[in-house]
């Protein structure tokens, strides 16, 4: 299974106010393993960045002057996302901004779900931890994911942290496939261990010899002198 953990940074909080995407960060998971493949782009939004947003992510308009605009990178982005399941924290926000960008450029498939499925980890966290704080920072602390290098929000570092949080949230025994030829998948955190199941292997039963059985009984007799012998069910 291929999953892309995605995060964005923006010029502000609302597409209705004309705010734009300025950073996209993605990391790839295949069968619950981080593969090392990433997609990362800064984007020129052709507009100012709200002061509040800049305090969060530390990106200024001057930082983005030489960066490409969304239509210039859209095909490579969609190719990276194609056919995957997107894992996004507060997906409504990021999906809304990306779809807004697709609509602005009049892309023929402006719905992100035309290109990939979407899993919202915020909704998942709220189901698992009702009544608790479920921000990415809170989940990092809850699942002991090291976020000490994260001074400001950044799309790529947040995507990497979310990937590790998601694997921890959904860890434990992932499947119990007793009739599966491939084995039993028991993923914990980001690690996945597969125990092979070989149908060509035969169970070998080795019975004790008469001498071994007699020696065993003699040992139990000696143990019985000190009290009831549990090994005989007494």
Residue 15 reports pLDDT greater than 50: yes
pLDDT, average across residues 158-173 = 90
Choice among 58-62, 65-69, 170-174, 181-185 with the minimum mean pLDDT: 181-185
Between residues 187 and 62, the one the model is more confident about: 62
Pairing status of strand 184-185 against strand 194-195? antiparallel
Contact 186, 178 (CB under 8 A): no
Q: What is the CATH T-level fold of the domain 2-170, as seen in this structure?
A: Nucleotidyltransferase; domain 5 (3.30.420)
The pLDDT confidence band at residue 208, using thresholds 50, 70 and 90, is confident
Taking the CB of residue 62, how many other CB atoms lie within 10 A of it?
8
Taking the CB of residue 198, how many other CB atoms lie within 10 A of it?
8
The pLDDT confidence band at residue 185, using thresholds 50, 70 and 90, is very low
Q: Tens digits of per-residue pLDDT, 209-231?
A: 888 778 878 877 777 676 665 55
Residue 161 reports pLDDT greater than 60: yes
Q: What is the share, in percent, of the chain residues with pLDDT greater than 70?
A: 80
Residue 107 reports pLDDT greater than 60: yes
Q: Tens digits of per-residue pLDDT, 113-147?
A: 999 999 999 999 999 999 999 999 999 999 999 99
In the predicted model, what is the mean pLDDT of the chain? Answer: 85
Residues 61 and 36: their CA atoms lie apart, in Å, by: 29
C-alpha pair distances (Å), 86 with each of 2, 56, 105, 116, 142 = 9, 23, 22, 7, 23
Between residues 44 and 220, the one the model is more confident about: 44
pLDDT, average across residues 180-196 = 38
Residue 61, phi-psi category: left (phi > 0), alpha (psi -120 to 50), beta (remainder): alpha
pLDDT of residue 169: 96
Active-site positions?
A: 153
pLDDT of residue 73: 98
Residue 45 reports pLDDT greater than 80: yes
Residues 123 and 228: their CA atoms lie apart, in Å, by: 58
Contact 162, 190 (CB under 8 A): no
Contact 154, 56 (CB under 8 A): no
Instruction: Give the chain's radius of gyration (CA, Å).
Output: 27
pLDDT of residue 188: 36
pTM of the model as a whole: 0.73
Residue 54, phi-psi category: left (phi > 0), alpha (psi -120 to 50), beta (remainder): alpha
Residue 43 reports pLDDT greater than 60: yes
Q: What is the share, in percent, of the chain residues with pLDDT greater than 90?
A: 70
pLDDT of residue 149: 80
Residue 82, phi-psi category: left (phi > 0), alpha (psi -120 to 50), beta (remainder): beta
Contact 48, 28 (CB under 8 A): no
Domain definitions of the chain by residue range? 2-170, 171-201, 205-234
């Amino acid at each position: 299974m291929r999953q892309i953990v995605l995060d964005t940074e923006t010029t502000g909080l609302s597409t209705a106010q004309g705010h734009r995407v300025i950073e996209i960060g993605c990391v790839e998971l295949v069968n619950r393993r981080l593969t090392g493949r990433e997609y990362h782009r800064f984007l020129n939004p052709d507009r100012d960045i709200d002061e509040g947003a800049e305090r969060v992510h530390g990106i200024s308009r001057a930082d983005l002057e030489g960066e490409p605009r969304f239509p210039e990178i859209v095909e490579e982005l969609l190719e990276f996302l194609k056919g995957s399941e997107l894992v996004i924290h507060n997906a409504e926000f990021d999906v809304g901004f990306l779809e807004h960008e697709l609509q602005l450029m009049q892309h023929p498939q402006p719905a992100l779900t035309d290109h990939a499925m979407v899993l919202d980890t915020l909704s998942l966290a709220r189901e698992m931890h009702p009544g608790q704080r479920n921000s990415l920072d809170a989940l990092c602390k809850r699942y002991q994911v090291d976020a000490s290098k994260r001074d400001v929000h950044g799309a790529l570092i947040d995507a990497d942290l979310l990937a590790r949080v998601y694997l921890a949230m959904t860890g434990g025994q992932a499947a119990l496939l007793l009739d599966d030829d491939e084995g039993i998948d028991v993923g914990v955190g980001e690690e996945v261990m597969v125990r092979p199941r070989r149908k060509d292997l035969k169970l070998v039963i080795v019975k004790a010899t008469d001498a071994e059985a007699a020696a065993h009984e003699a040992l139990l007799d000696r143990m019985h002198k000190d009290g009831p012998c549990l090994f005989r069910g007494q």
